[in-house]
Structure 1
Amino acid sequence: MPSMQFLVRVGPDDAPTTALRIAGHVAHRLHAGLDGVQIVPLPPAAFSVPEAVPMQMDTVQRQFTHARERDAWFAQQLESMNLNGRWHAAQGDASTVLCHMAAAYEMLILARSDEHRDTPLGYGTISRSVFGCRCPVLILPEDMTNETCGERIVVAWNGSRESTLALRGARPLLTRATHVRILDGSSDAERVDPMRPPTLHLQEWLDRHDIKATIEPFQPDGASGPAIEARARDDNADLIVMGAWGRSRLAELVLGGATRHLFGQRAFPLLVAH
């Protein structure tokens, strides 16, 4: 019986998807189980004329019935990846469903569509899910072609609550990675906020969990987001681990920030926590 269980959001058709492919790879590597969920959205009542509501609800019910009947398909996918798990179908607002379900899992895995760039303005499904979930969220570019995720990792760490949660959530991946580089911006954060609570002793935590990592002081001349992305590219990384919204989402929207920048890039998967 796996000691960890992950949840991946699956689309409405049976075509192979990035989310399921990479979720299977990560779950297999970490000896975890993998559950899947398809979420059927309800029609926006505010934009519906009364005459159309019965037809819309009939469509939703047919979609939900189809979703519930995909358990055999999902079981076949798991069997091909030598994994165990369960299939779920749900109705409603996607982020609300995901935040509710993710409370029972060690990781939530989502693909970010390039068609609707989900930058963290607070309204997109992925942004709202990260903000509301109480587990790490692995965000994958929808057109990701890499077969690996979590073998070469760059961690953006500044001692904040959010970055520490992300570090802790990534521990199973960090212990198995072939390369880990930690960009340590905590000294700069302490200078900005000298009254903040004591932060994690990073090297002691790494030693306690037998994680081999290179710790590199991180004080970029410009914005943090592009600098983190450039360092990950230099390292040929296949995952960036970071806290999301170390400051408010409004400040990120107005001022910009690492979260906003990295949510908008297409090159690297992100493992984030808030």
Structure 2
Amino acid sequence: MKSILLHIDHDKAMQARLQVALDIARATNGHITCLQAISYEVFAPGDFYGSAIAAAMPVIKENAEKLRAEIERELEHEGVPWDWRFVYGIAPHRLLEASPLADIVIVGPAEAGSDGRGPSALVGDVVLKAPVPVLVVPEGTKSFDVGAPMLVAWNGSSESAHALRAAVPLLACSCKVMLACVVEDSERARFDLPSTEGARYLSRHGIDCEIVEIPRGEAAVADTLFSAAQLRDCGLLVMGAYGHSRLAEMIMGGVTRRMLSEPQMPVLLAH
């Protein structure tokens, strides 16, 4: 992951994803591009003449400049190459514009000003539309060890295959990779791609993996996957993202939505 696109904002997970970006950059000799977007989409009901926007923008800009100064001071002492892009516009749009020449986009699970519980519309837009994998880093993440075990959620779909392929640069650094299926016996025949195909693909990249079949219990699939990853001391969970762009503000639904509502570790997604 040589080109790392990092979303800069005031949300609660900012420091967590900054640290993860630094850890990945050090491990891969990568470069961090910090993208900070300010939107004019600030309004009050009935504010037809834009007076609320005019009053709010100086404060928003001042807060953005303070955040930039704080993060730049941190980056100056980290020994990692980086650059800063300050742009006007809606953050997901600007991230998507910058993503074609990135290897990974790093975001938080919830937007600034929220209660910290995701998922956010930003995550939905970027995950479903970006041509590169998106790493969602929850608040409280202290570091990211690329050599730690990693778990790939597999259900035989094209989305899970896309996520597996996108994660190869990180999986190649891991000491142990597990391909995990959470499925009932009656569902196995419905897999378009069996887990053995995923394992075969990884082997061609020199990556050995263990195929893990997890019985479907009473817990939600997302909770089962997090539990399986934590039990195996994994530092990353990889999965395919499901949904439609027109529903991005609701972020997909189903397992993906639950996975990102309260992520318990960094989650790498691809659609």
TM-score relative to the length of structure 1:
0.79
Q: Which moved further from structure 2: 72-81 or 200-209?
A: 72-81
Code of the residue aligned with 2:204 in structure 1: it is R
Match of 2:171 in 1: 174
* Structure 1 partner of 2:31: 33
- What displacement does 1:105 show? 0.5
Rate the CA distance shift 1:154–1:80 in 2: closer, same or farther, 3 A.
same
Whether contact under 8 Å (2:7, 2:36) holds in the other structure is yes
Give the alignment partner of residue 89 of structure 2, picking from 92, 100, 104. 92
Aligned to 1:217: 213
Q: Secondary structure at the match of 1:17?
A: helix
Q: Secondary structure at the residue paired with 1:242?
A: strand
1:144-183 equivalences in 2 (<5 Å): 144=141, 146-150=142-146, 151-183=148-180
Pairing of 1:90-239 with structure 2 (within 5 A): 90-113=87-110, 115-119=115-119, 124-144=121-141, 146-150=142-146, 151-184=148-181, 191-192=189-190, 196=192, 201-222=197-218, 223-239=220-236
Paired with 2:89 and 2:245, the residues of 1 have a C-alpha distance of 27
Instruction: Tell me how far apart the structure 1 counterparts of residues 66 and 223 of structure 2 sit (CA, whole Å).
Output: 44
Contact 1:103-1:134 within 8 A present in 2 as well: yes
What is the DSSP-based 3-state SS (H/G/I as helix, E as strand, rest coil) of the residue aligned with 1:138?
Answer: strand
CA distance in 2, matches of 1:66, 1:87: 16
Amino acid at match of 2:31: G
Sequence identity percentage: 25
Unaligned regions of 5+ residues in structure 2, if any?
A: none
- Determine the structure 2 residue equivalent to 1:10: 8
**Matches of 1:80 and 1:188 in 2, distance apart?**
55
Flag the 1:37–1:159 CA change in 2: closer, same or farther, 3 A: same
Shift of 1:152: 2.1
Distance 1:76 1:247, change over 3 A: closer
Return the alpha-carbon distance in structure 2 between the equivalents of residues 189 and 249 of structure 1.
Answer: 29
Q: 3-state SS of the aligned residue for 2:234?
A: coil
Q: Which runs of 5+ in 1 are unaligned?
A: none
Equivalent residue number for residue 48 of structure 2: 50
Q: How many pairs were matched up?
A: 261
Q: Any idea what SS the aligned residue of 2:171 has?
A: helix
Instruction: Give how far 1:261 is off.
Output: 1.7
**What displacement does 1:272 show?**
0.4
Q: 1:216-260 CA deviation, whole Å, 9 max, x = no partner?
A: 23452454222211101211222100001178997xx7x963212
Higher mean Cα deviation, 257-266 or 241-250? 241-250
Letter of the 1:60 counterpart: M
C-alpha root-mean-square deviation of aligned residues, in Å? 3.5
Query: In structure 2, how many angstroms separate the alpha carbons of the residues matched to 1:11 and 1:102?
Result: 17
Paired with 2:45 and 2:123, the residues of 1 have a C-alpha distance of 23
- Displacement of 1:116 in angstroms is 4.5
Q: 1:200 to 1:98 in 2, by over 3 A?
A: farther
Q: Is the 8 A contact 2:128 2:245 kept in 1?
A: no
Whichever residue aligns with residue 131 of structure 1, its letter is L
